[in-house]
Amino acid sequence: MAAGSTRYMDGLNAAQREAVETLDGPVLMLAGAGTGKTKALTTRIVHLLTTNRARTNEILAVTFTNKAAREMKERVGRMLGQPAEGMPWLGTFHSICVKLLRRHAELVGLKSNFTILDTDDQIRLLKQLISAAGIDDKRWPARMLANIIDDWKNRALTPAKVPAGDAAAYNHRGTEFYDQYQTRLKELNAVDFGDLLLHCVEIFQNNPDLLAQYHRWFRYILVDEYQDTNVAQYLWLRLLASGHKNICCVGDDDQSIYGWRGAEVGNILRFEKDFSGAKVIRLEQNYRSTKHILSAASGVIRGNEGRLGKELWTEADGGEKVRLIGHWDGEEEARWIGEEIEAMQRGTRGMRQYGLNEMAILVRASHQMRAFEDRFLTIGLPYRVIGGPRFYERLEIRDAMAYFRVVISPEDDLAFERIVNTPKRGLGDKAQQTIQMVARENGVSLVEGARLAVEEGLIKGKGGAALRRLVENIARWGQMTRAVVPNDGDEDAVLEGVQSFEEFQARTEVSHVELAEIILDESGYTSMWQADKNPDSPGRLENLKELVKALENFDNLQGFLEHVSLVMDNDKQDAEQKVSIMTLHAAKGLEFPAVFLPGWEDGLFPSQRSMDESGLKGLEEERRLAYVGITRAEEVCTISFAGNRRVFGQWQSQLPSRFIDELPEEHVEVLTPPGLYGGGYGAAAPSAAEPPVRSTIEERMSNADGYNSPGWKRMQARTAERGYSKPRKSDSQIIDLTATSSFTIGERVFHQKFGYGAIIGMEGDKLEVDFEKAGTKKVVARFVSASDD
Ligand code: ATP
Ligand code: MG
């Protein structure tokens, strides 16, 4: 594009144009969903580049998800007419912070090849500290402590800064453990997610010269989804922008959905105070959705108090009303959505044809995904799950990754602990304690401790020999990988002077992909699953293959591990058309022509927790989430709910979400599921001739607390008025809920009141169960279900 040409601004409205052209000084763009905030922000980047105000590496652009970052890069590239690969500082807070922290790790006492821990590791580490202090982690769970610490980190509080008001946290020992935890992390050369930001903030606060340098480097700062920044992120931004103050933030208070993770809408208000003279720009035209969809969304969000308040309008008249449909249970909901997607794909629903890429299912809770995944696998409907590290959460993947981690950084004690006796090497608790002890006494890592323990003959027999092999292997694999990445993690040093890929390969003995295979084979990990007779073992082996395949997209193991710990979306940019499945949280900023919103039931959406809370804060956040969900849709928005859901193996009857009640009637069309009343769409409502449904749910409803309450009756009356009622199950699908399945002694079960336990005796319809928390009890078999996990 010729310098000076601003054709990329054609089509922007006046307010957007202003946002693009006001380059110097603070700008706050505050506007509702689909008004073109992200578009304006992207155009602003193009404008900065085209007018030579900044070079690609002088722009710091923060987005919320990796997907959003990638899309923004692509959009910039398209507008510039060339790939925007050279935007090194366009990414998520976390990915940018990792980069900064690798450069300056020594300033906070870390080495640049530090490991990034995930929640699992974090909990394991905390458990160790807790049990070393002799605390009963049943009463004081490690997860609770982890949440407290995360919360402090989100609020940018180091152990020394935790306010006195928080002193009672975790039985008055929260701060003490937080301090220990931080010390331990440094010993392990590790950080958790919260640290990525916190360490950066600390570095900038303590090193003004360095900060000044970054002020010169990052000449323009842009932030999307600003309403979801937490205090640590806010401080980070403020530090970086404090020099030139060329910062442009865009956000929407109605879409603030990360309050539970410490995000503060107050940051929007604070912006104007901290950056005085900030230009505030408001956008009101929505370019994304039809009027019905936009009005439905506005109707819901109106229920919130204390909004900054804004009205949206759209030129897109007509189109489908928001479609609402009730189902018997979650499985049926998934089945219907699968069929609906196929029908829409064929264009047989009286609407245009929709490609699979144009359709998305947005769920409130990730456990809802399974029903869809199962169903779609069955009918062969291609789908992708976005936004959850689901694949990488699987046991075998986490084990394999732990192997890679120890090999990359032998200080990674947590990874070593995970694999030392996986596969079984005859190293019991005692041997492992010996390793711990030797490591502690010598102040070395566990790998090194293990090596010493073997050398000194402290671990004998088969276990000792196996451990020796493991330790030797780790060292050998490590040498193989260091041919690719030097120990300090400086990939550039390896690549220096390399002209071609062949030359690069020649410098490395084996590729990291081969190495990964070698590690999994030689460690005995692959054979462990090959020998395993469990029905899910073949699947696990498949996953391991998939993992190795995924490695091909990376230059080395370390890059891959980084990707996994950071990247929350595993949606490869594949060409195949697929339906997207993701959580509402992950859908932020995205748009799809057709959106399905399943599971709109009280207790699921809004979540039980938000309903139990006193005050409206949680509920209002859920409502914003509903607003985010509806506003993702461009043309078709389908909301559904089920009358029954399996929760922890127990059937539960569900009420339609209160948010359904808030949808303005004139923008909603109620669909009748085919099959339910024996007909297709719009089939007549049940007549007197319809056979009575043998409905255990009705029975249970009348017995269960709450269903006789005025609230429930009101709900029933209202839903009947609207033309939909609690759905019933067609006869063929009735499951006899009262039948006791055949239990066996020793089986792990779940009881709604007493939780998990193992069956130790049976007598008639009673079971004797040794509950993990409640001790031994006799319970009626009917109230017990086989445990899912
Ligand atoms: P969200 O709050 O959901 O993140 P947003 O305000 O960031 O939404 P965008 O994603 O930037 O909105 O834009 C929504 C849609 O409207 C996009 O498809 C975009 O291309 C289109 N759009 C934005 N501005 C204009 C415009 N001036 N003319 C035509 N289309 C536009
Ligand atoms: Mg956006």
182-223: pLDDT as tens digits: 999 999 889 998 999 999 999 999 999 999 999 999 999 999
Which pLDDT does position 771 carry in this prediction? 82
Q: Are residues 457 and 396 in the same domain?
A: yes
Nearest alpha carbon to residue 258 among 236, 279, 227: 227
Same domain, 590 and 663: yes
Q: Specify the pLDDT at position 712.
A: 40
Q: What is the CATH number of the domain that holds 470?
A: 1.10.486.10
On whether both 580 and 532 belong to a single domain, the answer is: no
Which residue carries 């806010």 as its tokens?
234
399, 544: one domain: yes
Of 285, 318, 333, the residue at which a domain comes to its end is 285
Q: Are 674 and 704 part of one and the same domain?
A: yes
The reported pLDDT for the residue numbered 256 is 86
In a domain, 597, yes or no: yes
| DSSP states of 80-148 | HTS--TT-TTEEEHHHHHHHHHHHHGGGGT--TTPEEP-HHHHHHHHHHHHHHTT--TTTS-HHHHHHH
Q: What is the pLDDT of residues 465-482, one digit of tens each?
A: 999 999 999 999 988 876
566, 584, 614 - which closes a domain: 566
**Exposure of 749 by Cβ count < 10 A (0-12 exposed, 13-18 middle, 19+ buried)?**
buried
Measured CA angle at 59 (ends 14, 191), to 5 deg: 125
Question: What pLDDT is stored for residue 737 in this prediction?
Answer: 29
Query: Measured from the CA of 16, which atom of ligand 1 is nearest?
Result: 27
Residue 454 is predicted with a pLDDT of: 94
d(CA 253, CA 624): 9
Nearest CA to ligand 1 atom 11: 36
Residue 335 lies in a domain: yes
Pair of tokens at residue 288? 């994304």
Given 137, 156, 188, the domain boundary residue is 188
> Which residue's C-alpha comes closest to atom 9 of ligand 1?
36
Residues of the chain with pLDDT under 70: 1-4, 83-85, 261-263, 387-393, 482-509, 535-536, 565-575, 647-650, 673-742, 752-753, 764-765, 782-783, 787-789
How far apart are the CA of 19 and the centre of ligand 2, in A? 14
Tokens 């010493």 identify what position? 452
Same domain, 94 and 237: yes
d(CA 251, CA 228): 8
Chain centroid offset of residue 299 CA: 28
Query: Any residues with Cβ below 6 Å from ligand 1, and which?
Result: 11-13, 16, 31, 33-39, 252, 255, 287-288, 589, 591, 631
CATH number for position 755: 2.30.30
Q: Which domain holds residue 767?
A: 748-786
Q: What whole-number distance in Å separates Cα of residue 421 and Cα of residue 435?
A: 12
Contact 631, 293 (CB under 8 A): yes
Distance CA 552, CA 547 (A): 9
Quote the CA–CA distance of 170 and 481 in Å, as a whole number. Answer: 42
As annotated, the active-site residues are 37-38, 224-225, 255, 632
- Whether residues 378 and 460 fall in one domain: no
End-to-end CA distance of the chain: 58
Nearest ligand, measured from the Cα of 254: 1
CA dist., res. 733 & res. 30, Å (int): 49
> For a substitution probing ligand 1, which of 256, 257, 287 has the most ligand atoms within 8 Å of its CB?
287
Residue 660 and residue 724 in one domain = yes
Residue 502 within a domain: yes
Q: Is residue 357, in this structure, part of any structural domain at all?
A: yes
Domain count, the chain: 5
Domain-located, residue 302: yes
In sign, the C-alpha dihedral spanning 199, 204, 210, 215 is positive
Do residues 67 and 214 both lie within one domain? yes
- Does a structural domain hold residue 109? no
* Domain-located, residue 262: yes
**Is the distance from CB of 517 to CB of 557 less than 8 angstroms?**
no
**Does 107 map to a domain?**
no
Whether residue 457 sits in one domain with residue 502: yes
| CATH code (residue 19) | 3.40.50.300
Q: How far is the CA of 88 from the centre of ligand 2 (A)?
A: 21
Name, in order, each residue with C-beta under 8 angstroms of 726's C-beta and a sequence gap of 6 or more: 326, 643, 656, 697, 716, 719
> What ipTM was estimated for this complex?
0.99
In angstroms, rounded to a whole number, what is the distance separating the alpha carbons of residues 37 and 282? 9
Cβ pair 13, 39 in contact under 8 A:
no
Q: Tokens 């017990």 — which residue?
A: 784
Q: How far is the CA of 251 from the centre of ligand 2 (A)?
A: 8
Write the residue with the smallest CA distance to atom 20 of ligand 1. 39
CA nearest neighbour of 598 among 620, 579, 572? 579
CATH of residue 127's domain is: 1.10.10.160
Indicate whether 549 and 422 sit together in one domain. yes
What is the 86 CA–ligand 2 centroid distance (Å)? 22
321 forms bridges with which residues in the sheet? none
* pTM of the full structure: 0.71
Q: Whose CA is nearest to atom 15 of ligand 1?
A: 288
Specify whether 492 is located in the same domain as 617.
no
Cα torsion through 336, 341, 346, 352, rounded to 10: 120
